[in-house]
Structure 1
Amino acid sequence: MNSTNEHRYLPQVILAGAPKCGTTSVFDHLKDHPEICSSSVKETYYLIDKGYPVFRPDRNVHLQGWQGYEHFFSHCQNAADGLKLEATPDYLYQETPLHSIPEWPTRPKVFFVLRRPEERVYSLYRFAQNNLAILDKDISFSDFLALMGTKDSPFADRYILSNAIQQSCYVDFLLKWREAVGEDNIRVFLFEDFRRDQRGFMKQVADYLGIDPLFYRDYEFEVKNASTNVKLQGMHRLKGRISPYIANTALRRPLSWLYRKVNVTQAAASKVQSERTEVEKLAPRFFEANQRLEAEFGVDLAPWRTRK
């Protein structure tokens, strides 16, 4: 593929990881920037490996090549529209972008937002129980950790849950990305820094991308994709089955409101003592990987060593 037209829709900025690390909020804050033209959906999944759980068989680079990105960026016609941005957090774990991106005529700016590993594993556990309702409420966090990787695990067929610990040892995946896209085109940020100072965090991201950081001086920040508590998992699964049939009808709004009123509450910010203890007991499993992450990428992991 050599023509300019085949390259015109390739993203120039990719937020490539990690899941459950605040990427939805970061994407939304970036897409509001006048020098950014974001993809029509946050997660395009366009560079996902075949066979990975979130692979989209109808739209992917294996099937449609680079030109297929037009589906997500047809509204970004000119350079004046801004840098084309997409954000698919699962890219961190994929081989496809590592082979595809080096063939692009220009390398995109790639960055990652990472969360303290043990907190990310706990967040996945809670997300699976509540937002997704695929993990039984009777399974404690301790049970979840004990069952992980066993053949009899009730989530053995859920790759992302079964591999939550492995995928939270970020450095091995990041080293592959650095080799593929180059040290100057990769940057690592911390979710904890975002949570502590969103304005300062977004200014740092803007500096890295070469867009005006002053846009965020008076910007109004809003947290997106917050975790929720689901009271009845059966009702939540029923909602998932019904939703496609009412998506474009007058029933969608009133039924969604009624569902949230009856079955959803905001997740509590604090953990019970037993959960906090289990999260802290998990931390040593990431010690060596975190040390290598700090050494290889010059990331100050002090926020991960400060306990709540």
Structure 2
Amino acid sequence: MEWLPNFFIAGAPKCGTSTLHRWLAAHPQALGAREKETCFLADPGTHTYRRDFHVSNGMASWSTAFDPPRPETRVIFDATPDYLYSKTALRVIPDMPGAPKCLFVLREPAAQIFSIFRYFQNNWNWIAPHMSFSDYIDALRGGGARFGGNELAERALGNAQYLDHLAPWRARLGEERLKVMTFERLTRQSREAMEEIAQWLGLDPGFYDGFDFAPENQSYVPRSRALQRINVALRGTLPRGAAYRHLRALYRRVNTRAPAAPSAQERRVLTELRRDFRPANRALADAFGLDLSAWEAVA
């Protein structure tokens, strides 16, 4: 093939990567995959692995996930946040032609785990609708919890120990090809964050003056679980495109609502998680020179 991705939004799940993908794909000098997550470098055995579309079959088929680059295209990017945990991605990306760069967006761990819980329980059906957040955390701490083979749901506590996963990436990529940003900065200082990313990638940062920084892929609660089961069963079989996006928007208007604020019990669990993650967060801040004061503020 004549081209490969030269930039990856490689982590972490439920940290605003869908929003970041849309914002970056809107830039005339950037080309994102037609579907946000190609999962081309997923590890075998994970729930996103596809035998028929995988690097083990060769690189050539990767291009089918993208439209052809335009003359002005400078960045071709794949936004698959599971790559943070993928041994295949860690092995392949650093040695790819063109020395690709990787961006990792991290969210305060308790909030990220809570978002994982809500997303896989409501937007999908990996976590049973009757399971409370407290019971979910107890199941994770007990070990051996299975959620239909979804490793992101099963390993949420360990996955939020970000330093353990980022250190091998820095060792393979080096400092110049890796950037770490917080979800909190991306959402609260969107224009400044996107201008910084654009400059790092060699794109015109002026594109983001006056840009509409609307969020994407937010968690929801289905009004009817029966309709949601049908939605989950069908949506993977439908071709992606304008018709798919129209049907998705219609479904969300009819059968979804915004999730409620955390309950008193959920707030107690979140407080405990934030206390438990505090040492790991401080180690992460020291190792990568990050300002995690926004994480401390909610602790």
Q: Flag whether TM exceeds 0.5 (same fold).
A: yes
**How far apart, in 1, do the equivalents of 2:264 and 2:161 lie?**
25
CA contact (8 A) 2:74 2:203 kept: no
Change (3 A) 1:67 1:252: closer
Change (3 A) 1:150 1:74: same
Structure 1 unaligned regions, length at least 5: 1-5
Change (3 A) 1:206 1:259: closer
What is residue 45 of structure 1 aligned with on the other side?
39
The answer to whether residue 100 in structure 2 is matched with residue 73 in structure 1 is no
Structure 2 unaligned regions, length at least 5: none
Q: CA RMSD in A?
A: 2.5
Equivalent position to 2:25, from 15, 31, 36:
31
Amino acid at match of 2:24: L
Amino acid at match of 1:141: F
**How far apart, in 1, do the equivalents of 2:222 and 2:67 lie?**
37
| Overall identity of the aligned pairs, in % | 33
- The number of residues matched between the two structures is 297
The answer to whether residue 227 in structure 2 is matched with residue 235 in structure 1 is yes
Change (3 A) 1:77 1:67: farther
The answer to whether residue 163 in structure 2 is matched with residue 166 in structure 1 is no
Amino acid at match of 2:79: A
CA contact (8 A) 1:149 1:156 kept: no
Which deviations, in whole Å up to 9, do the C-alpha atoms of 1:137-196 show, x marking residues without a partner? 321111111111546746274321110010011111111111111111000000011121
Q: CA deviation at 1:243?
A: 4.2
What is residue 5 of structure 2 aligned with on the other side?
11
What is residue 281 of structure 1 aligned with on the other side?
272
The answer to whether residue 296 in structure 2 is matched with residue 297 in structure 1 is no
Normalised to the residue count of structure 2, the TM-score between the two structures is 0.90
Q: CA deviation at 1:258?
A: 6.9
Larger radius of gyration: 1
CA contact (8 A) 2:7 2:101 kept: yes
**How far apart, in 2, do the equivalents of 1:98 and 1:210 lie?**
24
Change (3 A) 1:233 1:149: farther
CA contact (8 A) 1:45 1:88 kept: yes
**How far apart, in 2, do the equivalents of 1:56 and 1:207 lie?**
34
What is residue 103 of structure 1 aligned with on the other side?
95
Equivalent position to 1:198, from 187, 190, 194:
190
Change (3 A) 1:247 1:301: same
Change (3 A) 1:46 1:139: same
The answer to whether residue 13 in structure 2 is matched with residue 22 in structure 1 is no
Aligned partner of residue 123 in structure 2, secondary structure: coil
The answer to whether residue 298 in structure 2 is matched with residue 307 in structure 1 is yes
The answer to whether residue 239 in structure 2 is matched with residue 209 in structure 1 is no
Q: CA deviation at 1:298?
A: 0.9
**How far apart, in 2, do the equivalents of 1:252 and 1:89 lie?**
22
Amino acid at match of 1:172: D
Which shows bigger deviation, 144-153 or 189-198?
Answer: 144-153
**How far apart, in 1, do the equivalents of 2:208 and 2:255 lie?**
36
Which shows bigger deviation, 288-297 or 239-248?
Answer: 239-248
Normalised to the residue count of structure 1, the TM-score between the two structures is 0.88
Aligned partner of residue 15 in structure 1, secondary structure: strand
Change (3 A) 1:173 1:262: same
Q: CA deviation at 1:239?
A: 2.4
**How far apart, in 1, do the equivalents of 2:244 and 2:102 lie?**
37
Q: CA deviation at 1:228?
A: 0.7
Change (3 A) 1:242 1:178: closer
